[in-house]
Every structure is written in structure tokens, then in C-alpha cells.
Amino acid sequence: MKRRNFIGMAGMGAAGALLHGLPAIGRTIAEAEALVIRADTAAKKRMADIALQAARSKGATYADVRIGRYLSQSVITRDKRVQGVSNTESYGIGIRVVANGCWGFAASEKMDTDSIAQTAALAVAIAKGNAKLVTEPVQLAPQKGFGEVSWQTPIEKNAFAIPVKEKVDLLLAANETALTGGANFVNAALFMINEQKYFASTDGSYIDQDVHRIWPTFTVTKVDKSSGKFQTRDSLSAPMGMGYEYLTALPEHKLTGGPTTLYKGRYDILEDIKAATAQVAEKITAKSVEPGKYDLVLDPTHLGLTIHESTGHPTELDRVLGYEANYAGTSFLTLDKWKTRQFNYGSKLVNIQADKLQPGSLGAVGYDDEGVKSGQWDIIKEGILVNYQTIRDQAHILGLPASQGCCYADSWDSIQFQRMPNVSLLPNKQTRPVADIIKSVKKGIYILGRGSYSIDQQRYNFQFGGQLFYEIKDGQITGMLNDVAYQSNTQEFWNSMTDIADKSDYRLFGTFNDGKGQPSQSSAVSHGSSTAKFEGVNVINTARKIG
Amino acid sequence: MAILNKDEAQAILKKVLSFSKADETEVSLNGQQSGNIRYARNAVSTAGEVSNLNLSVSSSFGKRTGNATINEFDDASLAKVVARAEELARLAPENPEYMPLLGPSDFAESIGFIPSTAAMTPDTRADMVAQSLKVAKDSKLEAAGFLQNSAGFRSMMNSKGLFAYGKNTDVSFSVTVRNQEGTGSGYVDHSFNDVGKLDTLALTKTAATKATSSAGAKAIEPGRYTVILEPLAASDMLGGIIRGFEQRTADEGRSFMSKKGGGTRLGEQLFDEKVNIYSDPLHPELPGSTWNNDGMPVEKTIWVENGVVKNLACSRFWAQKKGIKPLAGPGGGRFGGGGMIMTGGTASVEDLIKNTEKGILVTRFWYIRMVDQQTLVQTGLTRDGTFYIENGQIKFPVKNFRFNESPIIMLNNVEELGKPVRSGSSILPPMKIRDFTFTSLSDAI
């Protein structure tokens, strides 16, 4: 009862806004159904071959097929009650072709032989029908076939196999910790995703992948009726490409010694919510910041979003080329800047690497959604712009012999296009503890957590808030601040980076829902970094009176 | 066929309910057909069509509720989805906020369905986009845009005899036109129920004019300025404020409607007396659903009158707890429309400019995010045409600004309101606002 087809041509839209929450996908299923295998590899290969053969017979010069089963589970609580438990599944086939030099795409949730062949024929018909609108035929970077291969997120515990009751109990225990600690309200939630993706192409690849993601999160609210003020503190967790083991933190996963415990590779929701409950009360009475220039010490729980917005998005090649002009805009990192091989993006300490390999990251896959093997490459090297992020039909623009593997679709019935890989700031190669960075600051602010964020349509001017702000005076943290946001310009900001901690502090920040394209698609991506120092950044006071 | 008529929907819903063994059962049946076309660099890049028909069952035993959905409609599938919802309900924890289902109600007939919009095809969309592309190419400019139309229906029936049905159409068009040098950019974005009101050629000409006239922008100092916000910019800033007129968050002390010391600010003068805001699902330019997902009627409601907050939306659970009447908020479901309507005067944007000694004309805002939930201070940037006004005339384009401003403060600083027009899911006037706070400059075009 559902039909969806797209016509696609070279160069798709580019990145935009971050979306909140978890997109509702597919039909509701019982908890146990998530663990049922819908089709074995041999059956999927048969279906894929039917599609590829049908596409070829209709005149496609290239075709790829994605048979996708997308599972999502969310458990949402408020205070002492469960607000909702949702299990959904979406299953179907998407077929993309090149015919007469033009992209065509069609998708169907009907998986019988005739329907698959009809869907492939429709994709070819769409491509041919729109070929007259193409000014430049699709030019695909060569890609060897891998034969039959598979990849799975290296998880220890499949989150979908953990009973919902266990998840509910954990979240309600977290809420209880907050409420008994003095919070007025608390919301805690757990989101889980499993993408079971089978890809096949006329290049000779048959790729079976099983991708897992998890995101525990909460918001604690404290209200002070006498002053009429309220404050919130969100979880310092990162969504991760992991299984349920992410929620089992051992001492080696905890970074202590600062104003709050931080988590590396695993997360302790009960400990974090206890700290959040104390901190949200402290925020109510915290000193309002004096606007001016400060040195900022930015924790990875915060810095990841700045990397995402000011580095990840402007280096998306399709965005640079203008395919997202009507949605998220374009990019200041134009091709002429890259061609000089001298464009100064940041200080010599700024080394930004793209990858789809980091264990535990949201972007980690074996192969992208057009059959390109995952890899890593430099985007900014010692402060200089050296590369972008590309897919097969754009690689030639950069003179690359192959795609960088940045193609992704958020569903079997969405057309795949260029999406951000993990984009990370490399840590200091020398030993550099965070404590020493803080000691080096005369007048500064230490910022943790993801707050408000906004950046212009070419990624110059931005403003970021956070969850926790601590004043630094003469190398010492002296107390909490409030009403803090910093404004800067991308190039100026990254050139003000004068220090970064070593790999012992390196952690992943993640976002579950990065929006791009029209109609919008969502993707998940991680950003690694260590704590870094930025000198002389403009801080504003965000407080206003509303009478 | 995703758009079922009232009788067809009713027949399926009755059949589903006949399989129910739960204490209370609610069934929703919704369908939508939508199509889109996207273009960039003066060429079409993607196009698509989607058709959906989904049935959702909510079964309750006491205060335990389970939900299940399906998109297959044979008898066996319908029986299966009911059984699954009941199975999940038995396993679910009790919901202390569960409210018994409502009985029958006499909902007003919705007016949002226009057959010509529902009848749009890929060719219709391609022709409309061709008009837009022609403007850009003839002017040696570059266009990127998106056109989307949809037709849908919603229906609901429950075991207490409530039945509701409504259908709706919508078409939206946006285009960004830039000059070849990348130094000027213009934008338009309009939505209608009736495709007959959409003129992609005229709208693209407007965007093209902005692109040309915004080239060569000068930097002026950020600070507090009188601004003239075109309706699109006004809706960017104010479109969400209506969601704040909500009883529970106000009572809980975490809303701009919360009163110091406890209670709410209902009945207080929160805004300039020129501010009047209401919602009306039967407004011809912004029709919406006449019932919400809880089975409550959605009716014309005055939220702000002469600056005074008159009503707060309230769920049935919270109303029972507080001993007050429940009140449905605007919108009523997944259809667009039925949103915020703000009254104004008769002045055009040009008239507002003529009456301005010094100010800034803002075409639209971009990347708006909440900075402070308590004061609703937001940050964002101007985009696609920002101009300096002096002595009643546009003098020159200016570089884009970042702002930090609260819509509540804005609505206290109203100088003049023009003639309201639909913008997205709101109807708003162009507005002249004093002391609007710009905090920094952006080089973005």
C-alpha cells in the first residue's frame, strides 16, 4: 500500500540542520520480532540479482540495489512513569540506476519477483524520462566489486535482545535519583537503531551489513518558585555505534578530577544524572557571565558540535557546489581555496580527519551505500584545507581516482546521497593533560555539554552555548557561570586554537539526527576530539528580562 | 489509493473495532499522497512520489495501553493488528495519566481539501518548476528550489462511538536565486491549500529581484535597530510562540507563562496592545483539522487579545487534575494549517518602509535556535536580502546580522503591523519592531 520513487541525478543536496528526536520509521512490531531474521543472505542475493538483471535488460548502464530492514526502538520516561515504548520496522528494496547518463531511483516494499522487476524497470524509465534535463551525464568514479562480503558493528550485547523491562527499570532508576536529589522534573530516554542493509551492484558487490546505534539521554529540570527561575541540565552521554554494553561503565571509562565525571567509550547514566541534579541546582544561583573576551577550554562533549557545524558541513563537496543552496546554504570553503593548497583554515595544531572506521562511532560502517569501502583521509592538515567529502559521482571534480565512501540513505526508500562521515580533531601527539591546559589560562571559561547552536548558511559566523560553564581565573576553576554563549567566525576561531590535550582525553561526541536534503533525510555521525583551548573568543551574556 | 472517502474510512474502522476484546479501543486510519521536485544549479536534481495508508490501533485494559500499526487491510491482517495491540497492552505498565476515551462529538467539517491540488502530477510540478527555471536563466541567475504537494485524510473511531474524518491538501514552493558571482541572494517560500494560488514565475521574479538588489552589501555596526520583518521573517521568529500558551508547563514553572512565586500569567498584559493572536481551523487561508488526536474538537480560539493572554491549551488529564476545562491547542494533528493567526492592519511592506526614518528590512531569518527557554531568547541570522532604510527608502543592501532576541520582547516593541498573509503554517502581518538586537555580523551570502 506504499509506493515511493525518486528521480536522482548527479549531485544531491547538502547538509543542514540538526534534527531532534528519533524519526518514526516503519510499522510497529512486537519486541521479539526485532530478533527475527526476515530474509537470509541467499534470499537477498536472489532478490538483488532479479533487480540488477531487470535494470540491465531495460538499458541501465549501472545499477545498485539496497534491501534494507530498519529497526528502531525507543523507551521514553518522565518522572515516575513510562511515557512510551515504541518498536518499529521498515523493510523494502530501493533500486538506483544510471540510464542515458541520468540517475533514476525507485523503491518498493513488495519483495516478490514481479514487483522487484517492475521497480527496477520504473527506475530505468524515470532515468530515461529525465535524461533531457541533464546538462552533464553522470560520471561515476570506478569501483571494483568486492564479491560477497559482510560487516557488523562490533557489539557485545545486541540492545534489541535486552528486555524492555530492564531498560525501563534503568531509566526509572535514573529518574528516581534525580527526583530524590531535588529535581522538580526529569525525562530520560533510550533510543536504539539497527540497520540491516544488503547492497548489490552491477560492479559485482554483494555486501551484507548489520549496523547498531544507541543513545541514552536525559534532561533534569529544577524550578525555583521564589525567583521564578528554572534551569535544565542534559545528559553528557554521546550517542554511539555500539550495543547495550555502552551502558556498563567501568572505572577505566571514567575521567575524574574535573568538576564532573566524564565518560570515554562507556556511559554511567545513574552517576551522570546524580551529578546533573546537583549541578542544575547550582545553575539556578550561578553568577551571570560578564561579557567580553575569554580563553575557552572546550570539552569534547561540547567541542564535537562546533566541529560538526564549522568543519563537517562546510567541507561537504555537494554543498560547496551549490546543491543545498535552497535549504542549508552553500559553503565558504570554495574550490578555489582548496586548489591553492594554501588556504589557512586554522592554526598549525588543527588537524581534522574524516573517517568511517573509528570503533564505537556512529559513522562506522564497512562500506557506504554505493559499495565503497570505508577509509580515512585528511580534511585539514596543520591548519590547511587539503580535502573535502565526496561520493562516486563527484570524485572526478577533485581529480580523485575513487570515491571517499560518503554515500548514505536513511531508508531503503530514500535515495542515497552525500552525507558526512565522522569528522574528528586529532589529539596532541605530545603528552598534554587537561589539567595543564586549565592551569595555562588566566581568564577563561571551561565549557561542557551540548547547548544552543546556530551558524550561518556559508558557515562563517556561529554562536554556541553549552550545558555547564566554569570560570577559570589564574589557572584555577573558581565556580559556575551562567548565561554564556560564544560568538565567532570559523576561520578566526580555529586560528585561535593554541592548545589541545593528548589522546588519553580523546572522546567521541555524536549526533543521532543530522538533517540534509529536500525532503529531509537524517543521518548519524560522530566527532572525536580532546579538550582544546581557544584564545580571546568573544563571549556574550544571553540573559534578558521579559517583564 | 491512499485517499479514502468518509464512507470507505468508516467501513474499515468499524471492521477493526469488531475484532476488539479490550476495555477501550481507538483506531486511526490515515493516508497521504505527496509528490516533490527539487532543483539546483538551474537543473532538476531529484523528484519523487510517496503514497501511504496506515492503520493504528490503541487498545487499553484499565490503565494499560498498547499500540500497533499496519499497512495491510485484509481481514486477517486487521484481526492481527488488534490482537498485537491487546497483547502489548497486557504487558504494558499502568499509565497514571490515562484518560478514558471520549464519546461521540459533532466535529465541524474541515475545509482544507482542494481537488486541483490533489490532482497535481509529476508533469504539473515539472511545468511549474520550468517557469521558475526560465526566470533564473533569462536573468543569468542561478536557482535552487523545491516544490512539494500533498493530499491526505485522517480518520478516527473508538469503542465509545466517536468518529472523526477530515481531508486536506497542501502545496509549498521555495526558491533561492543567487547571482553568478555569489554576491547576492534572494528567497521566497509560500504554502497554499489551493495550487491555483501558486505562481512560481512571479515568486521566482521576486527572489531574482532580491538576489540582484542584495549584491554588494555594506557592513554596518550591529546593535539595536528598528526592523521591518517581512511575513516570512516574522513567522520564522514567532511561528512557535503559540506552543508556549500551554497550561501544564506554565503551572510547572518552566515556561514564559509561569508566574514568579507560582501560578500562571493567564490574563496578564504580556504584549503590546496591538498584538492579537488566534487560531481557527476553518480559516480559508489556513484550514486545519477540526479535531485533535485525543478526540477533542479544535475550534477557533483567541490566545492573545489586545496584548493580554486569554487562553492556555490544556490536556484532558491536566484539566482534570487542576479542575479546569480542557482546551485543544491549534493544529490538531499532522496536517499543516490551523496554526497561528495574527491580525494586523492594511499596510504593505512598502508602506511600512515609507514610514521609517532609519531601519533594517529583513527578508527572512535562518538557523534559529532557542538560547534561553525561560525568556524565549533565540539566536539566528538574517539571510537572502537584508537592506538599510533611511528616510522612507531602501538605501543599500547590508551584510547579514546575527541576532539574539526574544519574541516576547519583540511583541512588546511593536510600532506598526501591516496586512497579514500566510507564511508556512502561520498567517502573520509584516511588522515594524523597535530595538531589535543584532549582536554580530556575518559574511555569508
CB contact under 8 A, B367 and A458: no
Contacts of B383 in chain A (CB under 8 A): 329, 456-457
Residue B334, pLDDT > 50, answer: no
Cell 478516527 maps to which residue? Answer: B156
Cell 527572489 maps to which residue? Answer: B207
pLDDT given for residue A25 in this prediction: 56
Other C-beta atoms closer than 10 Å to the C-beta of B14 total 12
Amino acid at A491: Q
Quick one: which of B116, B131, B128, B109 has its CA closest to B169?
Answer: B116
Tens of pLDDT, residues B228-265 = 999 999 999 997 788 889 999 999 999 999 999 999 99
CB contact under 8 A, B371 and A134: no
User: Which chain B residue lies closest to A488 (C-alpha atoms)?
Assistant: B440
Q: Given CB atoms, is A226 within the 8 Å cutoff of chain B?
A: yes
Contacts of A327 in chain B (CB under 8 A): 146
Alpha-carbon distance of A267 to A273, in angstroms, equals 11
Check: pTM over 0.95? Answer yes or no: no
* A70 in Cβ contact with A25 (< 8 Å): yes
Average pLDDT over residues B81-89: 91
pLDDT given for residue B331 in this prediction: 66
The residue ranking higher by pLDDT, B101 or B94, is B101
Quick one: which of B7, B88, B401 has its CA closest to B227?
Answer: B401
Q: Given CB atoms, is A525 within the 8 Å cutoff of chain B?
A: no
Alpha-carbon distance of A76 to A502, in angstroms, equals 37
- Supply angle C-alpha B69, B75, B77, rounded to 5: 35
Contacts of B38 in chain A (CB under 8 A): 13, 326, 518
Residue B116, pLDDT > 90, answer: yes
Q: Given CB atoms, is A269 within the 8 Å cutoff of chain B?
A: no
The alpha carbon dihedral of B443, A328, A348, A466 has a sign of positive
Amino acid at A120: A
Residue B335, pLDDT > 60, answer: no
Alpha-carbon distance of B148 to A409, in angstroms, equals 20
pLDDT tens for chain A, 547 residues: list them. 333 332 322 222 222 233 333 334 577 777 878 888 888 999 999 999 999 999 999 999 999 999 999 999 999 999 999 988 888 888 899 999 999 998 888 888 888 999 999 999 988 988 887 777 677 889 999 999 999 999 999 999 999 999 999 999 999 999 999 999 999 999 999 999 999 999 999 999 999 999 999 999 999 999 998 888 999 999 999 999 999 999 999 999 999 999 999 999 999 999 999 999 999 999 999 999 999 999 999 999 999 999 999 999 999 999 999 999 999 899 999 999 999 999 999 999 999 999 999 999 999 999 999 999 999 999 999 999 999 999 999 999 999 999 999 999 999 988 899 999 999 999 999 999 999 999 999 999 999 999 999 999 999 999 999 999 999 999 999 999 999 999 999 999 999 999 999 999 999 999 999 999 998 899 999 999 999 999 999 999 999 988 7
Alpha-carbon distance of A257 to A228, in angstroms, equals 34
Tens of pLDDT, residues B145-185 = 999 999 999 999 999 999 999 999 999 999 999 999 999 99
Shortest Cα–Cα distance, B116 to chain A (Å) = 21
Tens of pLDDT, residues B203-234 = 999 999 999 999 999 999 999 999 999 999 99
DSSP B41-66: TTEEEEEEEEEEEEEEEEEEETTEEE
CB contact under 8 A, A5 and B52: no
Alpha-carbon distance of B397 to B381, in angstroms, equals 15
CB contact under 8 A, B45 and A545: no
pLDDT given for residue B338 in this prediction: 66
Quick one: which of A181, A9, A166 has its CA closest to A73?
Answer: A166
* B56 in Cβ contact with B82 (< 8 Å): no
* B281 in Cβ contact with B289 (< 8 Å): yes
pLDDT given for residue A20 in this prediction: 32
* A272 in Cβ contact with A237 (< 8 Å): yes
Q: Which three cell numbers stand for residue B56?
A: 493504528
Q: What is the largest CA-CA distance in chain A?
A: 75
* Helix (H/G/I), strand (E/B), else coil: A488: strand
pLDDT given for residue B33 in this prediction: 87
pLDDT given for residue A128 in this prediction: 84
Contacts of B70 in chain A (CB under 8 A): 27
Other C-beta atoms closer than 10 Å to the C-beta of A473 total 12
The residues in A 361-400 lying below 8 A from B, measured between CB atoms, are: none
pLDDT given for residue B21 in this prediction: 97
Instruction: Tell me the backbone φ, ψ of residue A396, rounded to 5 degrees.
Output: -65, -25
Contacts of A458 in chain B (CB under 8 A): 443-445
* A64 in Cβ contact with A93 (< 8 Å): no
CB contact under 8 A, A3 and B175: no
Q: Given CB atoms, is A78 within the 8 Å cutoff of chain B?
A: no
Chain A, chain B: beta-carbon pairs less than 8 Å apart: 225
Alpha-carbon distance of A154 to B213, in angstroms, equals 55
Cell 543542514 maps to which residue? Answer: A16
- Supply angle C-alpha A511, A501, A248, rounded to 5: 50
Distances (CA, A) of A398 to A320, A336, A481, A485, B413: 12, 11, 46, 37, 51
